[in-house]
């Protein structure tokens, strides 16, 4: 068989140079028409993405080519393009691995890739578009990574408070943030910690959509809306299963939120994720959903909001340039440069910053009962000692751990806060 002519099949971008080399070396069947070619091609791409620490792979069909992109450290990178004629076959191969219906190309489908890459859990989502089905593969952390709260890289004070809350027997602990901020990873780590602490002494259950990873010692269930098995319905049934702790994958509507707070007020520890930009905003959104303030004040143990920031590579350099500081009140900052270790991006890996709102703080509790908006509640929380993500990010910039441009990318272009919390006096 002739060897693969990489430039004829795959046109790599800067981020895909290694992929092109692997394609030439590992795809054994040289001709595109060979039945095993696409299978080998998909395997190589999945393994290369795992080695590149990608969290998602996008196979996006266009008018003349199939674009391959993957997300590394939260940023989507173009990797390569494939001939348009391979698009349907690549999608079909992914569907086979995920045990989906290959002949249904007109509806979205989701499934788990079976034995695609050892040690890495993968899920596939397909969606019909103008030029064919777009496929996105989500890669979860390798087995052994991010297993416990101590592995998450959270600030020391947040980690200590989080472990303390897991020792409670009743109440709701919410983990908030935008998509891609590691909420589910943190929730899973908390469940593993509960199992480690209690062994078989506690009944741990979960209701998810979908089940993203198998957890030892946890009875996991997946919602099925087509059958009428949604979060609210499933949670009400789970309460009759004598659970000690419950993970609800996500609070999406008022009915689920109400059931969560009913559960936590009847002697259950409930963990859940929630989309919100800050911990104070989470309270405001729950209130807008119709959850009564007294339920929020009594039922909430805490709300942790977290974000993931790209960490600067060792090649980063210090600069005193005013433009580079981007409004941060610091004498100098570190800026990304780019080297072979970071593939020229200037960043390597990600770090987590978080804030934890405690509704038991007197000022915060009164603010909740008085239906204060998110901005007012955030001020009250900081007065009571909560260090916000923006304050922590500003300090990380001053320490040289984060670049100003990365902080603005993640948090937006609001005016940066000072690196120390201003003293606020109450009247």
Q: pLDDT at position 140, please? A: 82
pTM: 0.84
pLDDT, position 342: 86
Q: Where are the domains of the chain?
A: 6-139, 149-411
CATH of 6-139, one of 3.30.450.90, 3.30.70.141, 2.10.109.10, 3.30.1330.10: 3.30.450.90
pLDDT in tens, 359-418: 988 899 999 999 999 999 999 999 999 999 999 999 999 999 999 999 999 998 666 665
Look over the chain and give the mean of its residue pLDDT values, rounded to a whole number: 87
Q: Write down the pLDDT at residue 423.
A: 38
Residue-level pLDDT at 275: 93
Class in CATH terms, 149-411: alpha beta
pLDDT single digits (tens) 234-260? 999 999 999 999 999 999 999 999 999
Segments of the chain with pLDDT less than 70? 1-9, 12, 14-35, 115-116, 118, 142-144, 413-427
pLDDT, residue 18, reads 67
Q: State residue 372's pLDDT score.
A: 94
3-state secondary structure the chain: CCCCCHHHHCEECHHHHHHHHHHHHHCCCCCCCCCCHHHHHHHHHHHHHHHCCEEEEEEEECCCEEEEEEEECCEEEEEEEEEHHHHHHHHHHHHHHHCCCCCCCCCCEEEECCCCCCCCCEEEEEEEECCEEEEEEEECCCCCCCCCHHHCCCCHHHHHHHHHHHCCCCEEEEEECCCCCCHHHHHHHHHHHHHHHHHHHCCEEEEECCCCCCCCCEEEEECEHHHCECHHHHHHHHHHHCCCEEEECCCCCHHHHHHHHHHHCCCCEEEEEECCCCHHHHHHHHHHCCCCHHHHHHHEEEEEEEEEEEEECCCCEEECCHHHHCCCCCCCEEECCCCHHHCCCCEEEEEEEEEEECCCCHHHHHHHHCCCCHHHHHHHHHHCCCCCHHHHHHHHHHHCCCCHHHHHHHHCCCCCCCCCCCCCCCC
């Amino acid at each position: 068989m002739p060897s693969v002519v990489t430039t004829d099949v795959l046109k790599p971008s800067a981020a895909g140079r290694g992929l092109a080399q692997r394609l030439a070396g590992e795809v054994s069947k040289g001709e595109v028409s060979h039945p095993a070619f696409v299978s080998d091609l998909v395997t190589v791409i999945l393994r290369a993405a795992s080695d590149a620490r990608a969290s998602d792979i996008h196979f996006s069909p266009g008018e003349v080519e199939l674009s391959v992109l993957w997300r590394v450290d939260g940023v989507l990178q173009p990797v390569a393009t494939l001939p348009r004629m391979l698009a349907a076959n690549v999608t079909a191969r992914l569907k086979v691995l995920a045990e989906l219906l290959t002949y249904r190309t007109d509806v979205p489908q989701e499934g788990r890739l079976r034995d695609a890459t050892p040690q890495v859990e993968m899920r596939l989502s397909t969606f019909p578009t103008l030029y064919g089905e777009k496929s996105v593969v989500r890669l979860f952390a390798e087995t052994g990574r991010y297993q416990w709260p101590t592995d998450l890289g959270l600030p020391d004070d947040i980690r200590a408070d989080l472990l303390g809350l897991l020792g409670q027997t009743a109440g709701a602990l919410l983990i908030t943030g935008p998509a891609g901020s590691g909420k589910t990873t943190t929730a899973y780590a908390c469940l593993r910690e509960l199992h480690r602490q209690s062994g078989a002494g506690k009944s741990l259950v979960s209701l998810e959509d979908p089940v993203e990873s198998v957890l030892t010692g946890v009875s996991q269930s997946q919602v099925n809306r087509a059958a009428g098995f949604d979060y609210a319905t499933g949670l009400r049934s789970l309460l009759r299963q004598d659970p000690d702790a419950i993970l609800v994958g996500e609070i999406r509507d008022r009915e689920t939120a109400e059931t969560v707070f009913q559960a936590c007020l009847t002697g259950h520890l409930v963990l859940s994720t929630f989309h919100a930009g800050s911990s104070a905003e989470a309270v405001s959104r729950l209130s807008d959903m119709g959850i009564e303030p007294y339920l929020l004040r009594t039922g909430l143990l805490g709300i942790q909001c977290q974000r993931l920031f790209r960490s600067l590579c060792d090649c980063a350099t210090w600069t005193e340039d005013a433009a580079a500081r981007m409004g941060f009140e610091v004498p100098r900052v570190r800026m990304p440069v780019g080297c072979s270790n970071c593939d020229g991006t200037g960043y390597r890996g990600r770090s987590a910053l978080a804030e934890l709102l405690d509704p038991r703080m007197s000022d915060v509790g009164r603010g909740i009962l008085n239906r204060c908006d998110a901005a007012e509640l955030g001020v009250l929380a900081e007065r009571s000692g909560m260090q916000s993500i923006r304050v922590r990010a500003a300090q990380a910039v001053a320490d040289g751990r984060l670049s100003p441009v990365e902080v603005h990318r993640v948090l937006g272009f609001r005016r940066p806060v000072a690196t120390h919390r201003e003293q606020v006096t109450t009247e």
